[in-house]
Structure 1
């Protein structure tokens, strides 16, 4: 099904018709959990009904081809091969499983961007505390992106290092120079793990261009898939060097009384138990992105977010929190004198859905900037200019009212 016009423009009206929730509120929370399409919902519900009739194992056997197609769709979206894809319940789980499988030895240097999300930051700090790893948070440039010169200097001594970066953070609309980071990491012989939870389905992502050893992303955000779904890309040569710390029957074979073999490819990191219905929904969601076209999607999201960013900047009392050259579909800001959580609540009263991101979710970014919390609005292909008008009008009203 073609989801763009002949000139490559997103058909927003058609996307709204496919998205029941788009008519019920002005939804600007795609970076948290986007609204799914009716076809994604049908993929999930239809399989649950099949399980109701046949049982879980029997239903899974009938849809094996469709489940396998989900791996192919995920691979196509990021420029990988299906055997380099593993499915998970969340990106945080995937990143934890992969980092643990590296088994960082004492003294291994963990090199992290300030854009790192709380869950991964906590894991990194745990490795420092319990395994004797060293943590280096890379300085940023004037736009708060990774300072490439500083990263080069950090890695110059050739010590074993693991570089971890969030492509677009939870706390702002900036985009990290991930391909440049990849070139620096490769030159230094460092392992490169990319958190792309805010970019797959949102911006063009090609793992070969980026040069990462592994990439993780979630289903519920810009992919518009079900909650409880995620996938990881694990470069074939990288996967072959890693063994899961907790082998599972899904990815390993118990070969004798005291020995086992892991399966080839990325699926060695999966577990047997998973929601087949949710995975089918993820496959449908990824297929919709492919049908729509990621370049057209990225152009639309970045363009619409740019409009939101510019219009909010004109509202008295609004302080933008993104870099001036932000190139993403995420917009962050604060309202003078009004806590972000209060802004979110008052916008919800006006049927506008956004979210507050506290410093506790990004201490190396928001905490470092001395910002307690930001309001985050994130667009998707079902948002139209009526939604933007409603958002700007509601924010202006809250800013004018002030604390109440």
Structure 2
């Protein structure tokens, strides 16, 4: 496929590049965004080649297509391609880091109020196995992570601060944590920092040098608009010197003698060989598309649409918008009096409008802190959404009743 020097930011063209826009109004981009046609096409072509020529053989002949994801993600994150690993999911990437850290009894894992359930369950499991402790850093009045409290905990807390593990943007709300602030503190005190960027990659600019993270995990299927079943990891050179991946195979390491193995250079050590290579190729195309549009422009567009949606929802009697924060993104969470979240989702789907639900079990600490109901409706915008889409959603929400 030819590289387009500059993608059109024209809304009709963006929607033409997104076949799903002809069939559905999609506000579930924080779950799985509608894919770009080029992404679907390259996956079909890759699978056809595997069927006609063989799976291993296609990997050899399509080296350039498979390398694209590494190169484009490196461009997006401002790092080298050698610092990028591609895995089966963002969760797999995150776990390769987390479970590879040699926690000991009394070690402290510092995290945030809005931490995602999958990560927090891993904290609980490691605490149970090793005696490590979980410490939740409080938030400021404007619902950002309290950086003063974080630094105080590192300096004065009881036990070694073994890891800062924070989610950049929660699954249930539009607020954005100050990852750069966390990274600066982590660097100042030499504490490793693992950033879950699943909801931020592809939505907002991410520069790992400025973020100061040792590792960053991300997914293809959300704001990057790539395939499902593939994720990635950024690992700094320093991080790769400090700990090993949780699991190794003969792709991530080499068996050099009967009693020794040697890690592969670079972030490839975090990978396992067997992946959906068609999805890797699709991820590369999706990341290139975002880079050509410009992530700065994407971020500005998404924030504008989200602000428009919040304003429109607040004008509807009985609707409460639950996003609170110093900086808000494309995720908009809301409820309507007398209509539970599952009912709202089902009603909207009948109108050919996709939204999602965030239950308390996804970010329990955050729900409990803010006294939220058992679940909230999550409508997440992307740059291909239009004001007409927003108006149709708002009208449908207004019409919904028990």
How high is the TM-score relative to the length of structure 1?
A: 0.96
1:383 is matched with 385
1:32 is matched with 31
Alignment of 1:282-293 (within 5 A): 282-293=283-294
- 4+ aligned runs moved over 3 Å, structure 1: 2-5
Alignment of 1:114-193 (within 5 A): 114-157=113-156, 159-193=160-194
2:10 is matched with 11
Aligned-partner Cα distance in 1 for 2:5–2:298: 13
Alignment of 1:328-347 (within 5 A): 328-347=329-348
CA contact (8 A) 1:253 1:263 kept: yes
1:200 is matched with 201
Give the number of aligned pairs: 396
2:100 is matched with 101
CA contact (8 A) 1:2 1:292 kept: no
Cα deviation digits, residues 266-297 of structure 1 (max 9, x gap): 11010010111000000000000001000111
Aligned-partner Cα distance in 1 for 2:7–2:96: 37
TM-superposed CA distance for 1:245, in Å, is 3.2
- The unaligned stretches of length 5 or more in structure 1 are none
SS at match of 1:312: helix
Aligned-partner Cα distance in 2 for 1:359–1:142: 22
Aligned-partner Cα distance in 1 for 2:367–2:327: 16
Worse-superposed segment, 378-387 or 191-200:
378-387
Aligned-partner Cα distance in 2 for 1:2–1:340: 43
Aligned-partner Cα distance in 1 for 2:368–2:359: 9
2:355 is matched with 354
Aligned-partner Cα distance in 2 for 1:392–1:326: 23
CA contact (8 A) 1:240 1:265 kept: no
Is residue 55 of structure 1 aligned with residue 34 of structure 2?
no
Aligned-partner Cα distance in 1 for 2:134–2:212: 22
2:371 is matched with 370
Alignment of 1:217-232 (within 5 A): 217-232=218-233
Aligned-partner Cα distance in 2 for 1:351–1:203: 28
CA contact (8 A) 2:137 2:146 kept: yes
Aligned-partner Cα distance in 2 for 1:59–1:323: 48
Quick one: structure 1 residues 132 and 228, their matched pair in 2 at CA, closer, same or farther if it must change by over 3 Å?
same
Aligned-partner Cα distance in 2 for 1:232–1:252: 17
TM-superposed CA distance for 1:334, in Å, is 1.0
CA contact (8 A) 2:110 2:161 kept: no
- The unaligned stretches of length 5 or more in structure 2 are none
Quick one: structure 1 residues 3 and 393, their matched pair in 2 at CA, closer, same or farther if it must change by over 3 Å?
farther
Cα deviation digits, residues 43-72 of structure 1 (max 9, x gap): 111000000110100011000122112101
Note the aligned Cα RMSD (angstroms): 1.3
Cα deviation digits, residues 250-270 of structure 1 (max 9, x gap): 111111122111111111010
Aligned-partner Cα distance in 2 for 1:197–1:115: 14
CA contact (8 A) 1:44 1:281 kept: yes
TM-superposed CA distance for 1:4, in Å, is 5.1
TM-superposed CA distance for 1:386, in Å, is 1.2
Query: Which residue of 370, 381, 394 corresponds with 1:392?
Result: 394
TM-superposed CA distance for 1:326, in Å, is 4.2
TM-superposed CA distance for 1:73, in Å, is 0.7
Quick one: structure 1 residues 335 and 42, their matched pair in 2 at CA, closer, same or farther if it must change by over 3 Å?
same
TM-superposed CA distance for 1:188, in Å, is 2.0
SS at match of 1:101: coil
SS at match of 1:146: coil
Alignment of 1:253-332 (within 5 A): 253-323=254-324, 325-332=326-333
How high is the TM-score relative to the length of structure 2?
A: 0.96
Aligned-partner Cα distance in 2 for 1:355–1:397: 18
TM-superposed CA distance for 1:246, in Å, is 2.2
TM-superposed CA distance for 1:368, in Å, is 2.7
SS at match of 2:305: helix
TM-superposed CA distance for 1:324, in Å, is 5.7
